[in-house]
Amino acid sequence: MTPVDPLAWMAGATDDEIDRFVAGMDARERREWPWIWPLLARPEQLAPPGDWNLWLILAGRGFGKTRAGAEWVQGVAERDPAARIALVAANLGEARGVMIEGESGLLAVGAPWRRARFEPSLRRLVWPNGAQAQLYSAQEPESLRGPQHSHAWCDEIAKWDMAAGRAERAWDNLLLGLRLGAQPRAMATTTPRAVPLLRRLLAEDGVAVTRGATADNAANLPPRFLRDMRRAFGRTVLGRQELDGELIEDLPGALWTRALIEECREAAPPAPQARVVIGVDPPASSQGDACGIVVCALGGDGVGRVLADASVEKASPERWARAVAQAARRWQADRVVAEANQGGAMVASVLRAAEISLPLRLVHASRGKVARAEPVAALYEAGRVRHAGTFPALEDELCGLIAGGGYQGPGRSPDRADALVWALTELMLARRRAPRVVAT
């Protein structure tokens, strides 16, 4: 007997019962059977019931967010020939490489005879029944001004460009055009980060939220990957965010907030840079804290920029000195500024042994890390510092420095943050004597 609700029936059916059920199908049903997504998906990968406007999946990497998004779009297109769907990613490369052509993208899901045809020159997908989807980049908010859609899938919204409110403008323009059909809806998939757009969406009505972790998809992931990721990140802030899908909130009194850092982010620095300095916070021992190595530059526009975090974990003096030397060569640094509280002579000799042929300045900390960081945090508040890219470990440490309250971030010590402070202090806050003529 054919079950009234196959999904509910299969949940409690035995293998023999399922085999008999499949054997009773006709040729058309047997052809369709392997492509029925609700039979393959985990419950959290299926659209929730209810009258929602936005389905938001916040989950760790490898959870199956992309597959869920692609299958949702495929289902919308198959059911509605008039569907006009917006596909929005951080940039067009990711829209095509992940949402369309990726292993779990739209060209890989659904029955092959019902899949869309991709027209790269038009940035468009067209399904056999007439449904269409258009690709957009969140870096170009104005491209979403004007077009109308019935549905939208937005991927990795927490990594959209937050500079100058660009991500929120892209979202707003999308919503203003989401007005076709009887029930316009959007879906957003992302690994959570406490950025302004994500916080805003979580506070709005009509949002259905699905949360999950990397481990939820363990059946489809290599065991070694899961083991290595858990060993590397464990319950660190980065692990909680990237693997467990936890939204890490700001600490009260933090000198840096995640929203502030996002406002200061840019895709790439303008070239050339007037001066490049590498800040180094050496560890007390090779088995202790990380060696903070952060590359910063001062541009011709007077803006300081963080170019790279080259820090190394549990490194011997020779290894971290080589890492400093490599960073200096790569970024053509003008100076290395290294904290010398843990043995100035040793720091100098180790760095010079690594064949660093550029000026080395040793600095001694007379104040605590938080007190040293406060003037640098003020530079961020004034819009005088930019992050040329994303530096998760460094940014987690910055957000753990508490005014008047010490350090409450990941690890025992903010080594990366301290290296950044030394570099930006040298570039933007160091007092320099004006040249003068001395009578003899």
DSSP secondary structure of 335-395: EEEEE-TTTHHHHHHHHHHTT--S-EEEE---S-HHHHHHHHHHHHHTT-EEEES--HHHH
Specify the CATH number for the domain of residue 342: 3.30.420.240
Specify the CATH number for the domain of residue 79: 3.40.50.300
The answer as to whether 3 is a domain residue is no
pLDDT of residue 440: 45
* Contact yes or no for 190/157 (Cβ under 8 A): yes
pLDDT of residue 438: 47
pLDDT of residue 5: 64
- In what side-by-side order are the strands of the sheet with 185-190? 117-119, 124-126, 132-137, 84-89, 151-155, 185-190, 54-59, 207-212
Question: Based on the domain organization, do 269 and 406 belong to the same domain?
Answer: yes
Rounded to two decimals, the pTM is 0.68
* Contact yes or no for 414/370 (Cβ under 8 A): no
Short-list 3, 47, 67, 68, CA closest to 29: 3
pLDDT of residue 343: 53
* Local confidence pLDDT in tens for the 440 residues of the chain: 455 566 666 667 788 887 787 788 888 888 888 888 998 899 999 999 999 999 999 999 999 999 999 999 999 999 999 999 999 999 999 999 999 999 999 999 999 999 999 999 999 999 999 999 999 999 999 999 999 999 999 999 998 987 778 899 999 999 999 999 999 999 999 999 878 899 899 999 999 999 999 999 999 999 999 888 888 777 666 788 888 998 878 888 999 998 899 889 887 777 778 899 999 998 876 566 789 999 999 998 999 999 999 999 988 888 888 899 999 999 999 999 998 866 555 677 777 776 666 688 888 887 888 999 999 999 999 999 999 988 988 998 999 999 987 898 777 889 999 999 999 999 999 765 444 554 54
Question: Based on the domain organization, do 162 and 235 belong to the same domain?
Answer: yes
Question: Based on the domain organization, do 306 and 184 belong to the same domain?
Answer: no
Question: Based on the domain organization, do 61 and 145 belong to the same domain?
Answer: yes
pLDDT of residue 331: 93
Question: Based on the domain organization, do 283 and 149 belong to the same domain?
Answer: no
Question: Based on the domain organization, do 296 and 180 belong to the same domain?
Answer: no
Short-list 273, 348, 315, CA closest to 415: 315
- Coil, helix or strand for 135? strand
Question: Based on the domain organization, do 267 and 346 belong to the same domain?
Answer: yes
The answer as to whether 12 is a domain residue is no
Question: Based on the domain organization, do 207 and 262 belong to the same domain?
Answer: no
Output b/e per residue, 316-351; b: 16+ Cβ within 10 A.
ebeebbbbbbebbeebebbbbbbbbeeeeeebeebb
The answer as to whether 70 is a domain residue is yes
Question: Based on the domain organization, do 217 and 109 belong to the same domain?
Answer: yes
In angstroms, what is the C-alpha Rg of the chain? 26
pLDDT of residue 337: 94
What are the tokens at 268? 């790439």
Strands (E), 44-146: 54-59, 84-89, 117-119, 124-126, 132-137
pLDDT of residue 368: 87
Q: Which of 208, 240, 272 is the last residue of a domain?
A: 240
Question: Based on the domain organization, do 189 and 298 belong to the same domain?
Answer: no
Element (H, E) at 310: none
**Domain hosting residue 280, numbered range:** 258-429
Q: Which of 240, 275, 294 is the last residue of a domain?
A: 240
* Contact yes or no for 265/163 (Cβ under 8 A): yes
The answer as to whether 182 is a domain residue is yes
The answer as to whether 31 is a domain residue is no
Short-list 138, 157, 131, CA closest to 55: 157
Question: What's the residue count for the chain?
Answer: 440
The count of structural domains within the chain is 2
User: What residue type is 45 in one-letter code?
Assistant: Q
The answer as to whether 371 is a domain residue is yes
Phi, psi of 53, deg, nearest 5: -95, -30
The answer as to whether 253 is a domain residue is no
What are the tokens at 365? 């900390």
User: What residue type is 301 in one-letter code?
Assistant: D
Question: Based on the domain organization, do 273 and 236 belong to the same domain?
Answer: no
The answer as to whether 437 is a domain residue is no
Question: Based on the domain organization, do 43 and 189 belong to the same domain?
Answer: yes
Angle of CA points 403, 406, 409, to nearest 5°: 100
